Amino acid sequence: MASIVKRGKTYSVVYYEGEGSNRHQIWESGLSYSSAKSRKATIEYEKEQNTHVNHNDITVSEFLYEFIEKYGEKKWVASTYDGNVGLLENYVHPYWGDKKLRSIRTKTVDDFYHFLLNEAEPATNMGKPKREHISPSTIHDIHKVLRCAFNQAKKWEYIAKNPFLDATLPEHKEAKRDALTPEQLQRVLDFTDRTDIYDLYVMHCAIQLAFACCMRGGEVGGAQWERFSRSDQVLYIDRVIDRVDKKLIEKLPKMDILFRFPNLYPGTRTVIVLKQPKTEGSIRNVYIPETVAKKLEKLREIQMKLKMELGDDGYMDYGLIICQANGRPIMTEHLNKRFKEVLVGLNDPTIDVDHVVFHSLRHTSTGVKLRLSKGDLKAVQGDGGWNSPDMVTKRYAHILDEDRRRLADEMEQSFYKSKTEETPDTAAPALDAEALASLLASNPELLKKALESVQLANNT
């Protein structure tokens, strides 16, 4: 847009040209008011014509790169940014990159998803087995980022309608994560409760935090002693541990870095950081049971002994509650690996080691707390750091269903069966032949009346 500015007795038309770092301001001065109005209208018309042409010619790739720069870098945290950019680079740019943005229709989207599901080659990940087909879950993730992108394209008036809103997605049911039963969890805790073996005991305390406080892996790894009040038995959760690309630290303003751990090796591409959680709802106080608080006290004692033995050069004290024997942080992936080793060492045939991960403890915690609180969703939501109670009901509906089924059984026992069974006041008394004979023998008058009643019944 152009604007008119009065300067003395004349007027100037002010507008911008160029993009990005080449964008600069232009002043056209010395005009009369009528000439300035005419010039302003001409500039705006030319800009509109040029924009109209550019919008028609822009390709999907050109738009998506602009979308990442102007939307993604401002809205996404590091993990979301990496994941979305990876999906676009692996599956969208190679197949749709040269297509005109305005040529994408709902039918185009449906054809694309059919191609991805049946013909496209999945991207390979280092250290993971190669897959034959792209999973419906991946296609749903692609759809999510493209739907968001094309919503933005509509706001920018590049397109008139978002074709992804009516697209047909392949069927996909989110797999329910296996959770340990309270009995299984107790056996795991008993197995790891070894104060003489630091690696086992630190996992014991990590498991206690994940269960008692319903904490995520990144929250457990990022918990610090200064955020724990022993007197109040409260842990303040306001940071998570993560590994991020160094380039993204300055690039993503939404990522609030609280601390950067020094790299052990020079030239690494990533850095371990403590950062604020994704959502404000994840920042919370959690109240710790006395037993868990005592376990943490013991862990602190062990860490202080290690620090004295290793010295300041050998022990890197970052104030982490859950850390390696030398004070260095333990990442979420390391918690998963160590937890798997614990389960293998326990060798419990009732635990499916292949389908239980460290995050499963959060599911166990939620289930137990739902039952203990008699379904108090707000209390459980506050402990788990979800944005709304809906997250609890959606993710843990199977737990609620079990309680509802048990409630139906209790109604059957306490209400319906009481109506069909006779109460002691109305039920006919059971006949005892020996007691009746004794009664009649001891009461001749009663025996006489009984014989008369029998005789009368026979005559009729």
Domain boundaries, the chain: 3-57, 60-155, 182-397, 429-460
pLDDT digits over 256-289, tens only? Answer: 889 999 988 888 888 999 998 877 778 889 899 9
Mean pLDDT rounded to a whole number for the chain: 83
Q: What's the pLDDT band for 451 if we cut at 50, 70, 90? A: low
Min mean pLDDT across 129-138, 344-353, 359-368, 393-402 is at: 393-402
Rounded Cα distance, 142 and 161, in Å? 19
Tell me the CATH number of domain 182-397, given options 1.10.10.10, 2.60.40.10, 3.40.50.720, 1.10.443.10.
1.10.443.10
Rounded Cα distance, 103 and 106, in Å? 10
Min mean pLDDT across 95-99, 175-179, 393-397, 418-422 is at: 418-422
The distance of Cα 413 from the centroid of its chain, to the nearest Å, equals 39
Q: What's the pLDDT band for 440 if we cut at 50, 70, 90? A: low
Q: 216 near 362, Cβ under 8 Å?
A: yes
3-state secondary structure of 3: strand
Q: What is the pTM of this model?
A: 0.68
CA distances from 389 to 109, 359, 379 (A): 34, 19, 9
pLDDT above 70: residue 450? no
Q: Report the phi/psi class of residue 191: left, alpha or beta, with left for phi > 0 and alpha for psi in -120 to 50.
A: alpha
Q: What's the pLDDT band for 179 if we cut at 50, 70, 90? A: confident
Rg of the chain, C-alpha, whole Å: 36
- CA angle, 211 as apex, 209 and 216 as ends, to 5°? 70
Residue among 387, 209, 388, 385 at smallest CA distance from 283: 385
Min mean pLDDT across 93-102, 108-117, 198-207, 336-345 is at: 93-102
List the alpha helices (DSSP H) in 254-388. 290-314, 332-346, 360-372, 377-384
pLDDT digits over 287-320, tens only? Answer: 999 999 999 999 999 999 999 999 988 999 999 9
Residue among 273, 205, 280, 210 at smallest CA distance from 240: 273
Burial class, 221, CB count within 10 angstroms (exposed 0-12 / middle 13-18 / buried 19+): buried
pLDDT digits over 151-170, tens only? Answer: 999 999 899 999 999 999 99
